[in-house]
């Protein structure tokens, strides 16, 4: 790899976005600044009265002053637990322990080389995006597994690795609600939608797969758009972006030797056996993998709650088997070395996560996000627009709120009690409102640095291009985000106009 200086950001709008974005402080410093802004705003707005009702309590919304003595002492007392209990931290670290072993022993390298040998070059991009979309069944695993592998696969194929990371990020996060495989997010959103609908009509019940046909059709759309954007916009723009990562840290792909092929075969057998055991033990109706009602895909089902742990084992076991058969593991120490190396690469991520966790806590405690959502929804309601225009408004408002409130469940838990009954009074069904929310939520995931996994993707990019910054990633993902937002919205409106079924037992109108 060359040691020359990285070529300056190109001109044009995306070049401007990149230059301006990269002038922002380091992500950790940025979140420290945002934390300070939240503190000051909470203090100033705590003296104001707002004519909106908090749907969670049924009482007038109050902005909590985070600079009061009691708030400051409470913040200091929970600072450690804010970080240690911050969901993305545990998800990433546990998954990376297993992945680190599989990478250190050479299993991932060999598996990707074998995959490249059977994947036509022209199908590489849609394959990466489709795998990213499918990863939704494994909770947040796509962020720690599929996105970095997108870079490795493209790099091995002689293409720019940042384009692979971008394509995978577009599938995992931009196509979050375009899944063709049911996942835990379906019953989660349905439950919140149903609760919102029952505010107006206690008799309303919704099917957990009330958007399944729409999200399945959307997956084809997202793969197609992502494919075009990657190869016609993003990758050509990256052609002068020099790969200047440390040569020792960059993944290297060699042709498979006989020993590696043998190791890959036995590792694959170990992985398939593990999956077979999981399927067999999950089949019985009284399986301990199921929740109390017998559901296996419910949000509280042990199987869904164990996804990250299963990914840890899914890579650890074949990684160890590969290492033993291919002679890349000579002692148990090699396994621990693999885990240690993966944790070393996460040091910067952990620093950023500490400050993000404090910001997320403060933003939630202040009620500023609630105020933003309520005011926006009230404005939309006052417009009295046609159904199609209202749907567009819901999508755009969700996209804006998504920039400030990253959690899909947290955001919909906040918006559903407002949007769902509001649109029911306009004759729009809860099923359609939920579909509109999913479009707006997914499309802007990939351009907000406030999304907890955004800094992690920056770290993945820095492995190849050292001075990748927030602006680089935002500029790279902006074409995906805008394309998804516009074309997916049009797709939903056409879907709505044709009267195609949104999902199982779903409707477009209420009552």
**Residue 4 included in any domain:** no
Domain count, the chain: 1
> Would you state the pLDDT for residue 8?
42
| Structural tokens at position 52 | 């909106």
**Residue 309 included in any domain:** yes
**pTM higher than the cut 0.85:** no
**Residue 63 included in any domain:** yes
Q: What is the DSSP string of 449-488?
A: TTSTTHHHHHHHHHTTSTT--HHHHHHHHHHHHHHHHHHH
CB atoms within 10 A of CB 440: 26
* Mean local confidence (pLDDT), 18-33: 74
**Residue 352 included in any domain:** yes
**Residue 394 included in any domain:** yes
CB atoms within 10 A of CB 370: 22
Torsion, CA 445, CA 450, CA 456, CA 460, rounded to 10: 60
**Residue 154 included in any domain:** yes
Give the C-alpha separation, 446 to 89, whole Å. Answer: 19
> Would you state the pLDDT for residue 200?
77
pLDDT at 117 over 80: no
Give the C-alpha separation, 211 to 180, whole Å. Answer: 11
Give the C-alpha separation, 48 to 44, whole Å. Answer: 8
Of 204, 211, 223, 206, nearest in space to 183 by CA:
211
pLDDT above 90: percentage of residues in the chain: 37
Give the C-alpha separation, 414 to 435, whole Å. Answer: 16
> Would you state the pLDDT for residue 378?
72
Which helix (H) or strand (E) segment holds residue 119: the answer is none
Q: What is the pLDDT of residues 255-287, one digit of tens each?
A: 678 888 999 999 999 999 999 999 999 999 989
> Would you state the pLDDT for residue 273?
94
> Would you state the pLDDT for residue 116?
67
Q: Report whether 97 contacts 311 (CB < 8 A).
A: no
Task: Name, of 99-103, 349-353, 430-434, the range with top average pLDDT.
Answer: 430-434
Strand residue runs (E) in 81-121:
none
Which residue stretches of 201-306 are H helix? 212-229, 235-237, 258-282, 302-305
Q: If pLDDT is split at 50, 70 and 90, which confidence band does 251 have? A: low
DSSP 46: T
Give the C-alpha separation, 230 to 18, whole Å. Answer: 17
**φ, ψ for residue 162, nearest 5 deg:** -65, -30
Point out the least confidently predicted range of 39-43, 91-95, 374-378: 374-378
DSSP 331: S
Which helix (H) or strand (E) segment holds residue 137: the answer is none
CB atoms within 10 A of CB 85: 12
**Residue 378 included in any domain:** yes
pLDDT at 127 over 80: yes
CB atoms within 10 A of CB 280: 10
Does residue 170 sit in helix, strand or coil?
helix
Domain with 348, as residue range(s), is: 12-498
Q: What is the pLDDT of residues 163-184, one digit of tens each?
A: 999 999 999 988 888 888 776 6
* Mean local confidence (pLDDT), 65-74: 96
Residues in the chain: 511
pLDDT at 248 over 60: no
Q: What is the pLDDT of residues 441-475, one digit of tens each?
A: 999 889 887 777 888 899 899 989 988 888 889 99
* Mean local confidence (pLDDT), 316-329: 93
Q: Report whether 187 contacts 90 (CB < 8 A).
A: no
pLDDT at 314 over 60: yes
**Residue 3 included in any domain:** no
Mean pLDDT rounded to a whole number for the chain = 84
pLDDT at 49 over 90: no
Burial 448-486 (b: 16+ CB within 10 A, else e): bbbbbbbbbbbbbbbbbbeebbbbbbbbbbbbbbebbbe
> Would you state the pLDDT for residue 182?
74
Q: If pLDDT is split at 50, 70 and 90, which confidence band does 5 have? A: very low
Torsion, CA 147, CA 149, CA 155, CA 157, rounded to 10: -120
Point out the least confidently predicted range of 38-42, 83-87, 134-138: 134-138
Does residue 211 sit in helix, strand or coil?
coil
Instruction: Specify whether the backbone of 349 is left (phi greater than 0), alpha (psi in -120 to 50) or beta.
Output: alpha
pLDDT above 70: percentage of residues in the chain: 89
């Amino acid at each position: 790899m060359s040691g020359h200086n990285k070529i300056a950001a190109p001109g044009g709008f995306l070049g401007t976005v990149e230059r301006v974005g990269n002038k922002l402080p380091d992500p950790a410093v940025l979140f420290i600044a945002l934390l300070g802004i939240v503190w000051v705003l909470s203090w100033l707005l705590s003296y104001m009265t707002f004519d909106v009702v908090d749907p969670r309590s049924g009482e007038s919304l109050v902005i909590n002053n985070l600079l009061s003595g009691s708030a400051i002492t409470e913040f200091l007392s929970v600072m450690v637990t804010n970080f240690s209990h911050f969901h993305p931290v545990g998800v990433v670290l546990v998954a990376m322990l297993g992945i680190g072993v599989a990478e250190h022993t050479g299993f991932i390298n060999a598996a990707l080389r074998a995959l490249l040998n059977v994947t036509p070059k022209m199908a590489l991009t849609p394959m990466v995006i489709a795998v990213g979309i499918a990863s939704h069944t494994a909770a947040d695993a796509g962020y720690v597994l599929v996105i970095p592998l997108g870079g490795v696969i493209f790099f091995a194929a002689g293409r720019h690795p940042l384009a692979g990371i971008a394509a995978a990020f577009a599938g995992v996060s931009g196509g979050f609600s375009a899944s063709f495989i049911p996942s835990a997010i379906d019953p989660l959103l349905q439950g919140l939608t149903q609760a919102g609908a029952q505010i107006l009509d206690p008799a309303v019940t919704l099917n957990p797969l009330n958007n399944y046909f729409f999200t399945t059709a959307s997956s084809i759309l997202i793969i197609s758009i992502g494919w075009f954007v990657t190869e016609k916009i993003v990758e050509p723009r990256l052609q002068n972006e020099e790969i200047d990562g440390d040569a020792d840290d960059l993944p290297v792909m060699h042709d498979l030797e006989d020993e590696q092929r043998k190791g890959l075969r036995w590792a694959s057998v170990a992985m398939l056996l593990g999956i077979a055991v999981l399927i067999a033990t999950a089949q019985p109706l009284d399986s301990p993998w199921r929740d109390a009602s017998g559901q296996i895909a419910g949000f509280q089902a042990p199987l869904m709650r164990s996804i990250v742990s299963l990914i840890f084992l899914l890579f650890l076991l074949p990684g160890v088997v590969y290492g033993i058969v291919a002679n890349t593991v000579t002692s148990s120490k090699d396994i621990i070395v693999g885990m240690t190396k993966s944790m070393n690469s996460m040091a910067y991520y952990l620093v950023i996560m500490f400050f993000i966790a404090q910001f997320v806590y403060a933003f939630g405690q202040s009620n500023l996000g609630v105020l933003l959502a309520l005011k926006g929804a009230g404005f939309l309601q006052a417009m009295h627009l046609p159904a199609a225009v209202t749907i567009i408004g819901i999508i755009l408002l969700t996209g804006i709120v998504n920039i400030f409130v990253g959690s899909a469940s947290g955001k919909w838990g906040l918006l559903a009690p407002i949007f769902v009954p509001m649109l029911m009074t306009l004759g729009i069904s809860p099923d359609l409102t939920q579909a509109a929310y999913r479009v707006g939520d997914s499309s802007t995931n990939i351009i907000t640095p406030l999304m907890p996994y955004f800094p992690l993707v920056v770290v993945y990019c820095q492995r190849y291009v050292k001075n990748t910054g927030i602006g680089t990633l935002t500029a790279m993902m902006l074409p995906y985000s805008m394309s998804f937002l516009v074309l997916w919205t049009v797709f939903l409106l056409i879907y709505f106009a044709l009267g195609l079924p949104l999902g199982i037992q779903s409707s477009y109108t209420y009552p």
